[in-house]
Amino acid sequence: MTRDTNAQTRFQTATLGYPRIGKSRELKKALEAFWRGQSNAETLIQTQHEIELSHWQTQQNAGIDRIGIGDMSLYDHVLDWSIYLGIIPERFAAFSGLERYFAMARGNEGIPALEMTKWFDTNYHYLVPEIPEHLQPADFSDFLATVRRAQDQLGDRAVPIILGPVTLLRLSRFEMNQSQAASELCDRYVQLLQELKELGVAEVQIHEPALVFGDAANFKENYQATYQSLSQIGLAIQLVTYFDDLGDNYSWVMELPVAGVSLDFTRGRNLELLQQYGFPEDKQLGAGLVDARNIWKIRPDVLQSTLDIITGVTTNLRLQPSASLQFVPYDAQRERKLPEPLLQVLSFAEQKLEELQLLATHLRQPQEAETSLEAIRGQWQAFQDFSPVNQGVQERLQRLSSQDLERPLPYEQRLQQQPVLPPFPTTTIGSFPQTSDVRKLRVKLKRGDLSQAEYEAAIDAEIAKCIQFQDEAGLDVLVHGEFERTDMVEFFGQQLSGFAFTEYAWVQSYGSRCVRPPIIYGDVARTQAMTVREFKVAQSLTDKIVKGMLTGPVTMINWSFTRTDISRREQAMQIALALRDEVADLEAAGAKMVQIDEPALREGLPLKPERWDEYLSWAVDAFRLSAAIAQPQTQIHTHMCYSEFGDIIEHIERLDADVLSIENSRSNNETLFEITDAGYKNQVGNGVYDVHSPAVPATEQMVQQLKTGVANLPVSQIWVNPDCGLKTRSWDEVIPSLKNMVEAAKVLRQEVELTQK
C-alpha cells in the first residue's frame, strides 16, 4: 500500500462520544435517588461530573488524539440542546432548573412530558423538541462550563460535541414557522461558536446524522446557509454523520464549508461513494471504521481491504468509531463468565479505543501492528470452531413454505371463534412493577441462597398478588406480571441456545433506564418451554383470561447484539421458529390469548425508504411465522410503541394480529389517526396513559383519550390499556392509575349504552 510521506502525522484518532451511565451505572443510581428525594441536586451533579472525568481520563490514557466532550447528559442529549437553545414549550415555563429539565423529560402532575421516540434506528430514546412560537433566551453556560473542565483535563485534545442545527430542526415539532425557527436557531449556534472561540477552542464536532436520511436533500439549502454562517466564526468544524451513507447527497455535502467530514464505513455505501466521487483535498476524512453499534472485534482482513480503498483516495484521515460509543458497554474484560472463545472476540468501548490505536499504528508502521492483528485472526478462528452450525435449525428453515406464515382462517372468521368481552375491554401490556424485593429474589437465586423451588415459590406468590389486584380492580384480561423476567429480551434469550449474556454490559435506553442486550453468537434453538409454568400458575388463580406473554423475533433481533456472519433475516427466522413452538405449548396449556410483542419493529427500519420493503418483508414474515401456528380461536395480540404507522400501515396489516396495542398518549393520538385513516380493520389497544411518567392519570384524562378513539374507530375495535409495560413504575403509581383506567372504560360503556337505547 502506498503511503503519503507525511502520513504518520496525519493518521489521528478521535472519538465521537462515550457511554454515559458509569461503569457500575452510577448515574442511574444517582438519578433514581434524586427522584426519590434521597439526595440533592448537588450530589447528582457531582456524580455526573465524576463519571464524565473518568471517561475523559480513559480516552486520554488510551492515547486518543481528539476526544469528543460535552455529550454527557443527565437524561438525554437532545433534551439538553433544547434547553441550551431556549426551546422550552409554554407548559414548562413555570419551572426552572432541574425541575424544568425533569418535567420536560418525565412530565409532572397534569403536564405531559415531551414525546419520546427512537434515535434513528438505535434502541436509544430521545425527547422530541417542541419549538414554540417564542423561544426563551439561549443559555450555554452549563455546556461552556463542561468545556472548561475538559480543557483543564485534556488541553487541546478536547473537542466539543454539538448537536447539529439542521438535525435538531429535522427531529422537532413546530409551533413557530419552520423558516423562522431555522434562522433564529442559526443565530444561536453562531453565538455558541463565538463563545467557544473565546474559550480558546480551535475545533468542534457538529453532529448532523440527519444527513443520512432519505429526505436530506429537502434540507440542502438549509444546510448550505447554516454552515456558511457557522464557518465565518473561524473554528474548524468537523461535520459528523453516522448510521448510514450520504447517498445522493454526497457531492453537495462535500462542498459545505467545513474542515472535515466524518463518514460511517460500517453501514451503507459510503465506501462506494468515496471511490466514485473522491474526497476533497482541503478536508479531513473522519473514517468511522470501528463499529460503534456492535460488540465484535475488528476483522483484520476486512478492514485491510477497506483501508486500502480509503487511503487510495485520501490519507488526510482521522480513525474513529462509526458513531458515539454510547451504544456499546464499557469494558469486555469485566466479563468473567463468558466462554473464552467468545470473550476473545468481543470489543466494548475500551477495547474499541485500543482498536483505533492499533489501526493508527498499522497505518503509520505496519510491521509494529502485525503481531496484534495476527492474534486477532487467531481469536476469530478459535471462535468459529467454538460455535458450529446447528443442522436441525438449518433443516427447519429450509423446509419452510408460505403456508407456514398463514393463520388457519382470515381475521373476520377467526373473530367469531374468539372470546367475547364487554365493550372497551381492559388489559395491560404485560409487566408489573419490578420491586427491589423481586430483584433480590434473582440475586439470591444466583448466589445460591435460594433453591430453584424456593425461587419459583416466591415468584408464584408475586403472581398471585398481581392476579388478585387485577381481579379486584376489574380488569377484563389479565397478565401474570412477568416477575421472573429481568428484561423482555434477556429472559427469552437465556433459554435459547445461541445467545450469551453478560454481567456488566449495560447500555442506556433512556434516562435511568439501562439494558444489557444479549449477544447472538450462534444458531438459535429452543430446548424447552419458556413461559408455560408461570402461565399455568396465573391461569389457575382466576376464571378470567390470562394472556401468554412473548417477545417477538424482530424485537429480539433489534434489541440484541447480532451476528455479522449471517443476515439479520436468518437470525430473526431462527428465533421465530423457537417462538412458534412456544405458542403451540401455551395453547396446549390452555391459553386463549397470546401476546407477541414487537415494540422494536419500526426502529429497525433502514434510514433510507428505498430499503424499507426488504426489511419489512422479512420482519413481518418472522412475526407471522411465530404466530401462524395458533388455532383460529386463539387471539394473537401484539404491542408496538414509539412507532409511526402511516407510511408502513400495509405492513402492519400484514402482521395479521387480532389485537394491536399502540403507544398513543405521548404522540397526541397521531398513531391512532394514522391507523384509522388507513382503514385498519383489526382491533386496536388505544394506549390511554404514559407509563414513562410518574404522574397518576385522572379518570377524566383517560375518558377524553378514549373518546378520541371512539370518534375514529368503531367501539367493537377498541381495547383499553396503558401505553407500555408497567415494570419501571411503583405499585403506588400503578394501583390508582389502573383503577382510574378501568373506571374510564366503565364511563365509556355507560355512554355507549345510552346512545344505543
Please list the active-site residues.
692
**Does residue 70 have a known ligand-binding role?**
no
26 known member of a binding site: yes
Taking Cα atoms as reference points, which of 669, 676, 630 lies closest to residue 653?
A: 676
The answer on whether 641 is annotated among ligand-binding residues is yes
| Residue of 431, 429, 430, 427 whose CA lies nearest to 477 | 427
* Bridge partners for 513 per DSSP: 510
d(CA 287, CA 101): 35
**580 has binding-site annotation:** no
Is 431 annotated for ligand binding? yes
175 marked ligand binding residue: no
> 102: Cβ–Cβ under 8 A, 6 or more apart, which residues?
35, 75
334 annotated ligand-binding residue = no
118 assigned ligand-binding residue: yes
End-to-end CA separation in angstroms for the chain: 85
Residue 556: alpha-carbon gap to chain centroid: 12
597 is in an annotated binding site: yes
Query: Does residue 487 contact residue 516 with C-beta atoms inside 8 Å?
Result: yes
506 is in an annotated binding site: no
Do the annotations mark residue 430 as ligand-binding? yes
The 3-state DSSP class for residue 523 equals strand
Reading the block at residue 484, the C-alpha cell is 421472573
141 belongs to an annotated ligand binding site: no
27 annotated as belonging to a binding site for a ligand: yes
**What single-letter DSSP state applies at residue 594?**
E
Confirm whether residue 603 is marked as ligand binding.
Answer: yes
What are the angstrom distances between the C-alpha of 634 and each of 16, 414, 425, 620, 630?
49, 8, 17, 19, 6
CB 13 within 8 A of CB 356: yes
**SS3 label, residue 62:** coil
Q: Can you read off the three cell numbers belonging to residue 8? A: 504518520
Q: Which of 504, 529, 596, 592 is nearest to 556 (CA)?
A: 596
Q: Would you say 639 is a known binding-site residue? A: yes
**549 grid coordinates:** 406473554
CB 64 within 8 A of CB 353: yes
Please, is 317 exposed, middle or buried when counting C-beta atoms within 10 Å of its C-beta (0-12, 13-18, 19+)? buried
- 559 annotated as belonging to a binding site for a ligand: yes
Q: What is the DSSP string of 545-580?
A: EE-EEEE-HHHHHHTSB--SSS-HHHHHHHHHHHHH
**Rounded to an integer, what distance in angstroms lies between the CA atom of residue 75 and that of residue 79?**
8
Task: Match 440542546 to its residue by C-alpha cell.
Answer: 81
For residue 728, the 8-state DSSP code is T
Known binding residues for 5-methyltetrahydropteroyltri-L-glutamate: 25-28, 118, 513-514, 559, 603
Known binding residues: 25-28, 118, 429-431, 482, 513-514, 559, 597, 603, 639, 641, 663, 724
Known binding residues for L-homocysteine: 429-431, 482, 597
Known binding residues for L-methionine: 429-431, 482, 597
